[in-house]
Chain A
Amino acid sequence: MATTEPLDPLLRDIAGPTPGQMMRKRILGHQGLLLGAVVLGVLLFVAIFAPLLAPHDPYAQSLMTRMEPPVFLGGDWAHPLGTDHLGRDYLSRLIYGARVSLLIGAVAAFISGVIGTTMGVSAGYFGGRVDMVVTFLINVRLAMPVVLVALAVVAILGGSLQVVIVVLGLLLWDRFAVVMRASTLQVRNREYVAAARAIGASTPRVILSEIMPNIANNLIVVVTLEMAHAILLEAALSFLGLGVQPPTPSWGLMVSEGKNMMLFEPWMVVIPGVVLFVLVLAINLVGDGLRDVTAPENRS
């Protein structure tokens, strides 16, 4: 195993650190990215292992123990974050709600990512008529107010987890398309692309192995932005009663359900609100950090 043998000190000075070592150093030196990743990691863990972590069944109603306050407001440890207006354990609903938020964020960002990237890369690579059509479609999409269209569609089709995911996925591709188109335009005339074409590589091969890897850092940033965007929109739709339907635990729905008692029991709104804020912040920190550590201009 030649690669793991310690290098001669002189040789290492000449070779400098490997790209992997440099990347690790940049990641570890980026506090925002680390913080975001840890928080996101914890939330992901919580979402995946929700059935093991939740102290109670999030659907178990107990009308006799309604709206018990959280521990820090004088409640007891049976319900660390209190109970909601139907006596369901708040902590358990928060934990299960993480699943809904992350699932919606990830799947909606994936759907819109596939649509937007396909459109953007084709427009940037082929140019001409393809570019004209895609640009037109992007403009059409940008002219539509997302929340309004989502509200209308959900109102017609009825709210459910699947409908919300699909609607958001089909609405949030514009940023992918714009960014991917611009990034493709930047790299399509680079030497390595020309070289790949010169040796006779097919178009799909040029796009997949020459263009995509070089614009992937931008893609990752947009993915995180749109994921956060989708999570917030789901919360907004659920708050308005048009998103995920009860009794599914969703943070937006929890805010909505707590709203009636907002003047007297503000914690019912504050707790899910804070968790939502933390999740979106963590995703944005990760996206921001990834951009910093992968951007070519920072590689020197």
Chain B
Amino acid sequence: MKTSWQKCGQGLAGVLLAATAATGAAWADKANDTLRVAFTKELENVDSYFNSSREGVVLQRAVWDGLIYRDPATNEYKGNLATSWEWIDDTTLEFKLREGVTFHNGEAFNADDVVYTVNFVAKAENGVKTQRNVNWMESAEKVDDYTVRIHLKEKFPAAIEFLSGPVSMYPDEYYAEVGPSGMGLEPVGTGPYKVVSVVPGQRFVLERNDSYHDSPKGQPSIANVDIRTIPDVNTQMAELFSGTLDLIWQVPADQAGKLAEMDRFTVKNESTMRVGYLTMDAAGRSGDTPFTDLRVRRAVNHAINREELVEALLKGASRVVSTPCFPSQFGCVEEAATTYEYDPKKARALLAEAGYPDGFTTELHAYRNRDYAEAIMSYLNAVGIKTDFKFLQYSALRDLNMKGEVPLAFLTWGSYSINDASAMVSQFFKHGSLDDARDDQVLADLSVADSSTDPDTRVAHYAKAIERITDQAYWAPMFSYNTNYVFTNEVDYAPTPDEVLRFTTMSWQ
């Protein structure tokens, strides 16, 4: 078996050699210190405030730094661009900044950069893609060159978590000049890797930042990272076989299982914070839909065999999730959630009670994992909910969802790897454009939980919100994702459970 695969790999290698020679793709490897990585999705914009995909988070962590850093192993907050911080009052944070840090373009990092970045992103009209990441900040104020204060709109205990995650610091002069579109094409940060070139939709080339400051992220080891967008996983694997890629990630469970049987590759599986769920139009935004009826929503919850999905399709470190957040997140109280066991009979009975003894037909939208969507569809069909399947690009589906035109959708949310329930449940249930439930009671509890500084109050109110959301079955939370990282034996890497690919901690064997 193995030898036939090796032959197959060699054959493929020949073909791909010819192909890469024809397209002029770079031919590099450990010998010239270049790690070649594949991204599945295109990025809308490399500027991390103006994209909302996982690939964007990966680049953000490589190119930019935040004031604080959370160690993924210990969950301890460490100073990154800031050396220390303290709460002046409930809504003011003061930071002492690290001195001697320079941006990739030579600009020195100081309080002006923090003030400019925070004031820019906090302004809603500047249109940061995920408002949740920044809209808790009011403004920033310079105390002296290396002291800065961030004013919050209201009490927001997750501030430290957000500042160690999606809020990264941009160079004020450069950003003022080029704006988000310029930053997207020629990104400049303080991070462990500099961006050498960006070919939108195709390729990103990174180079080690040799003068990287003494950051808790550690010093980068591999000199160059060459990232190409390759949407098809078979193509990614073929390139991995032929030696034109060193690392691929987000590899589906079935393929990862087969790759693990081959000696040349290391397969590592890690859980992620990404939760897969069905959202139902409980508020009736898409017109007259059956999902405004609680019994229908509960029927959907009962129709899905979550255990089977996890065991047979997702595999690895995935688990059944019944909360509208990832259970490791602070405030994501699992005990508060109503769980719906797999019971197709009960689902049918609930549908009949709601006036649909023969079921009904609904649109089902999805944007990723077509196979999971099909399996879910099959469960729904089995209880009489017939589906008109629509598979869209993420951005297209998000727009439709914002306009409230989606009765039922299979969606996922990775919380930007923020280990706080507010990053998920508050993103979707506070009457924003993506809120299909619009429940006032949930809004009230989340508002208290999001703004309280007392951990016990927060937990209590998140628990109440989760109880209400799951009791009303606004969503059908299903499972958490896992990620398979597959790399050649030349690469040494220990993935973290937050779905962030960290080039800084990778090295050659």
> Is A257 engaged at the interface, CB distance under 8 Å to the other chain?
yes
Residues of chain B from 139 to 179 with CB closer than 8 A to chain A in the complex: none
Q: Which residues of B contact A86 (CB under 8 A)?
A: 371, 374-375, 378
Known A-B contacts A260-B234, A263-B234; the reply to A85 vs B371 at CB < 8 A is yes
B374 in complex: contacting residue of A247, A259, A261, CB < 8 Å:
A247
Residues of chain A from 255 to 289 with CB closer than 8 A to chain B in the complex: 257, 259-264
Q: Which residues of B contact A32 (CB under 8 A)?
A: none
- A246 x B375 contact (CB < 8 A): no
Partner-binding segment picked from B220-228, B250-258, B410-418: B250-258
Q: Which residues of B contact A61 (CB under 8 A)?
A: 375, 378-379, 382
Residues of chain A from 44 to 96 with CB closer than 8 A to chain B in the complex: 59, 61, 63-64, 66-67, 85-87
Distance (whole angstroms) from the CB of B473 to the closest CB of chain A:
23
Partner-binding segment picked from B97-105, B305-313, B476-484: B305-313
Partner-binding segment picked from B37-45, B272-280, B387-395, B450-458: B387-395
Known A-B contacts A241-B391, A260-B254, A264-B255; the reply to A63 vs B237 at CB < 8 A is no
Q: List 14 A-B contacts (CB under 8 A).
A: A63-B308, A63-B309, A63-B312, A64-B311, A66-B313, A85-B371, A86-B375, A245-B388, A245-B389, A246-B374, A260-B255, A263-B238, A263-B258, A264-B255
- In the bound complex, how far is the Cα of B311 from the Cα of A64, in angstroms? 8
Q: Which residues of B contact A67 (CB under 8 A)?
A: 254
A interface size (C-beta, 8 A): 22
> Is B119 engaged at the interface, CB distance under 8 Å to the other chain?
no
- In the bound complex, how far is the Cα of B69 from the Cα of A263, in angstroms? 41
Distance (whole angstroms) from the CB of B309 to the closest CB of chain A:
7
Known A-B contacts A63-B308, A264-B255; the reply to A247 vs B371 at CB < 8 A is no
Closest B residue to A261 by beta carbon equals B254
A59 in complex: contacting residue of B305, B309, B381, B388, CB < 8 Å:
B381
> Which 5 A-B residue pairings sit nearest by Cβ, starting from the closest?
A63-B312, A61-B378, A264-B258, A245-B389, A63-B308
> Is A160 engaged at the interface, CB distance under 8 Å to the other chain?
yes
- A247 x B381 contact (CB < 8 A): yes
> Is B460 engaged at the interface, CB distance under 8 Å to the other chain?
no
Q: Which residues of A contact B254 (CB under 8 A)?
A: 67, 85, 260-261, 264
Distance (whole angstroms) from the CB of A152 to the closest CB of chain B:
15
> Is B233 engaged at the interface, CB distance under 8 Å to the other chain?
yes
> Is B294 engaged at the interface, CB distance under 8 Å to the other chain?
no
> Is A158 engaged at the interface, CB distance under 8 Å to the other chain?
yes
Q: Interface residues, chain B, CB within 8 Å of chain A? A: 233-234, 237-238, 252, 254-255, 258, 305, 308-309, 311-313, 370-371, 374-375, 377-379, 381-382, 388-391
Q: Which residues of B contact A257 (CB under 8 A)?
A: 371, 374
Q: Which residues of A contact B374 (CB under 8 A)?
A: 86, 246-247, 257
- B308 x A64 contact (CB < 8 A): yes
Q: Which residues of A contact B234 (CB under 8 A)?
A: 259-260, 262-263
Q: Which residues of A contact B312 (CB under 8 A)?
A: 63-64, 66, 87
- A160 x B255 contact (CB < 8 A): no
Q: Which residues of B contact A241 (CB under 8 A)?
A: 370, 391
Known A-B contacts A64-B308, A64-B312; the reply to A261 vs B391 at CB < 8 A is no
- In the bound complex, how far is the Cα of B371 from the Cα of A85, in angstroms? 8
A63 in complex: contacting residue of B233, B313, B388, CB < 8 Å:
B313
- In the bound complex, how far is the Cα of B379 from the Cα of A116, in angstroms? 44
Closest A residue to B379 by beta carbon equals A61
Distance (whole angstroms) from the CB of B39 to the closest CB of chain A:
18
Q: Which residues of B contact A246 (CB under 8 A)?
A: 370, 374, 377, 389
Closest A residue to B261 by beta carbon equals A264
- In the bound complex, how far is the Cα of B232 from the Cα of A263, in angstroms? 12
Distance (whole angstroms) from the CB of B10 to the closest CB of chain A:
14
Residues of chain A from 188 to 232 with CB closer than 8 A to chain B in the complex: none
- A160 x B388 contact (CB < 8 A): yes
Residues of chain A from 145 to 179 with CB closer than 8 A to chain B in the complex: 158, 160
- B371 x A63 contact (CB < 8 A): no
- In the bound complex, how far is the Cα of B386 from the Cα of A160, in angstroms? 14
B388 in complex: contacting residue of A64, A158, A261, CB < 8 Å:
A158
Distance (whole angstroms) from the CB of B251 to the closest CB of chain A:
11
- In the bound complex, how far is the Cα of B312 from the Cα of A246, in angstroms? 20
Q: Which residues of A contact B388 (CB under 8 A)?
A: 158, 160, 245
Q: Which residues of B contact A245 (CB under 8 A)?
A: 388-389
Q: Which residues of B contact A63 (CB under 8 A)?
A: 305, 308-309, 311-313, 375
Q: Which residues of A contact B305 (CB under 8 A)?
A: 63
- A247 x B377 contact (CB < 8 A): yes
- In the bound complex, how far is the Cα of B370 from the Cα of A54, in angstroms? 26
- In the bound complex, how far is the Cα of B390 from the Cα of A64, in angstroms? 26
Of residues A61, A246, A247, A263, which shows the largest number of chain B Cβ atoms within 10 Å of its Cβ?
A263
Distance (whole angstroms) from the CB of A159 to the closest CB of chain B:
8
Beyond A61-B382, A158-B388, A261-B255, 20 additional contacts (C-beta under 8 Å) are: A59-B381, A63-B305, A63-B308, A67-B254, A85-B254, A85-B371, A86-B378, A158-B390, A160-B388, A241-B370, A241-B391, A246-B370, A247-B374, A247-B378, A247-B381, A257-B374, A260-B252, A260-B255, A263-B234, A264-B255
Q: Which residues of B contact A158 (CB under 8 A)?
A: 388, 390
Distance (whole angstroms) from the CB of B369 to the closest CB of chain A:
11
Distance (whole angstroms) from the CB of B230 to the closest CB of chain A:
14
Distance (whole angstroms) from the CB of A66 to the closest CB of chain B:
6
- In the bound complex, how far is the Cα of B389 from the Cα of A160, in angstroms? 9
Distance (whole angstroms) from the CB of B378 to the closest CB of chain A:
4
Q: Which residues of B contact A262 (CB under 8 A)?
A: 234
Distance (whole angstroms) from the CB of A252 to the closest CB of chain B:
14
- In the bound complex, how far is the Cα of B234 from the Cα of A87, in angstroms? 21
Q: Which residues of B contact A260 (CB under 8 A)?
A: 233-234, 252, 254-255, 371
Closest B residue to A85 by beta carbon equals B371
Q: Which residues of B contact A247 (CB under 8 A)?
A: 374, 377-378, 381
Closest A residue to B382 by beta carbon equals A61
Q: Which residues of B contact A259 (CB under 8 A)?
A: 234
Q: Which residues of A contact B258 (CB under 8 A)?
A: 263-264
Closest A residue to B378 by beta carbon equals A61
Q: Which residues of A contact B313 (CB under 8 A)?
A: 63, 66
Closest A residue to B313 by beta carbon equals A63
Distance (whole angstroms) from the CB of A164 to the closest CB of chain B:
14
- In the bound complex, how far is the Cα of B370 from the Cα of A149, in angstroms? 25
- In the bound complex, how far is the Cα of B233 from the Cα of A66, in angstroms? 20
- In the bound complex, how far is the Cα of B379 from the Cα of A257, in angstroms? 18
